[in-house]
Amino acid sequence: MKVNQISIFLENKSGRLSDVARILGENNINIRALSLADTTDFGILRLIVNDTEKADRLLKENGFTVGKTEVVAVEVEDRPGGLARILEILNKDDINVEYMYAFVERSRNNAVIIFRFDDKCTDRAIKLLNKSGIIVLEGKKIYNL
């Protein structure tokens, strides 16, 4: 029930983000979701792609520092209150969200929210969400959206 995410260290200098996009594009890797966190000096690009292993290998070959993390993807109706309900469930059980980002599915009327929990909490969070009737998406499904 977990989704593989790759993260890439980027110095804040022009051209680095476009280098990543170009390498993935030239190798036919499709980006499903992304988020970029930045500080004054550096940024961390987090990506979910259709071929995690290939993207990881290609970026490393091109000199990038790449990490792999397991995140949780949750489907939620694209309407007001959708996110609030999920966060409430997590909050009640004291599960802290390290970071999250969201995108809207093209074919359906739903949003997908990607959650990064503390490693120790991930399994507990998935169980809790399942129990509460929230749809946790499998990796396969996200990669092939």
Partner 1 sequence: MIWDEEFETLPREAMQALQLKRLQQVAQRVYNTVPFYKRAFDQAGIKPDSIKTLADLAKLPFTIKDDLRENYPFGMFSVPMSEVVRIHASSGTTGKPTVVGYTRRDINTWAELMARTLSCGNVTKGDIVHNAYGYGLFTGGLGAHYGAERIGASVIPMSGGNTKKQIMIMQDFGSTVLTSTPSYALFMAETAAEMGVDFKSLKLRVGIFGAEPWSDNMRKEIEEKLNISAIDIYGLSEVIGPGVASECEEAKCGLHIFEDHFIPEIIDPNTKEVLPYGEKGELVFTCITKEAFPLIRYRTRDISALHAEPCRCGRTLVRMDRVSGRSDDMLIIRGVNVFPSQIESVLMEIEGLEPHYMIIVDREGSLDTLEVQVEVNERLFSDEIKVLEAMEARITKDIKEMLGVAAKVKLVEPKTIERSMGKAKRVIDKRKM
Binding site for partner 1 (CB under 8 A): 5, 7, 9-11, 16, 37, 39, 41-42, 44, 46, 63-67, 69, 98-99, 116
Contact 49, 7 (CB under 8 A): no
Minimum CB distance to partner 1 smaller for 53 or for 88 = 53
Q: Minimum CB separation from partner 1 for residue 4, in Å?
A: 12
State the minimum distance, in angstroms, from the CB of residue 14 to partner 1: 13
Beta strand spans in the chain (E): 3-11, 31-38, 42-49, 66-77, 97-104, 110-117, 135-137
State in angstroms the smallest separation of the CB of 85 from partner 1. 25
Phi, psi of 118 (to 5 degrees): -55, 135
CB atoms closer than 10 angstroms to residue 48: 26
Residue type, 110: N
Closest CB to partner 1 among residues 8, 24? 8
In angstroms, give the least distance from the CB of 73 to partner 1. 15
